[in-house]
Amino acid sequence: MAIKIKIKTRMYSDIEDALLKHYLITGSDFFECYENSKFSTIRLAERGRIANWMVDRETGDIYYLTVCEDKLIVLNKLSLSYCMHDSPFHIVEFKEKNEALGEILIIEEQAARDSETRKALAKAKTFVTTL
């Protein structure tokens, strides 16, 4: 099992705390020049969100987990823009250091994004991402 990406995180239950941590790390407001997008971006991210917000302790990037209609659990990165793509899935593992600190491990191996693979991953309650 080769690790593609390792992200050290701090977890927050409230988006405002996650955004503050982003600001403290990057020195910039996540929604700077995009204040009108704040409500809709957060509302979209909140839909189906199942866990705490996870902030990368080095870059300030904000991550969250959602459950799709087919029960597939997907790791997403908070973004001001969304695009459709067909990148393969990568398996995601989480390691908790304590209740506030953790790591996201994105595994190098790829899985197809077809319906059969989605069903199998959802049934196995496997976390995935396209990051």
| The predicted structure's pLDDT at residue 24 | 97
The H or E element spanning position 40 is helix 38-46
Total structural domains in the chain?
1
Task: Read off φ and ψ for residue 16, nearest 5 degrees.
Answer: -65, -35
Residue 96's pLDDT is 85
Q: Which of 74, 108, 65, 68 is nearest to 90 (CA)?
A: 108
H or E stretch covering 12: strand 3-12
Q: What is the pLDDT of residue 80?
A: 85
Residue 49 DSSP code? B
The pLDDT value recorded for residue 109 is: 86
Spans in the chain with pLDDT lower than 70 = 1, 82-84
Which two tokens mark 100? 């506030």
Coil, helix or strand at residue 95 = strand
CA angle 15, 21, 26 (to 5 degrees): 125
Query: Domain limits at 58?
Result: 3-129
pLDDT on residue 1? 65
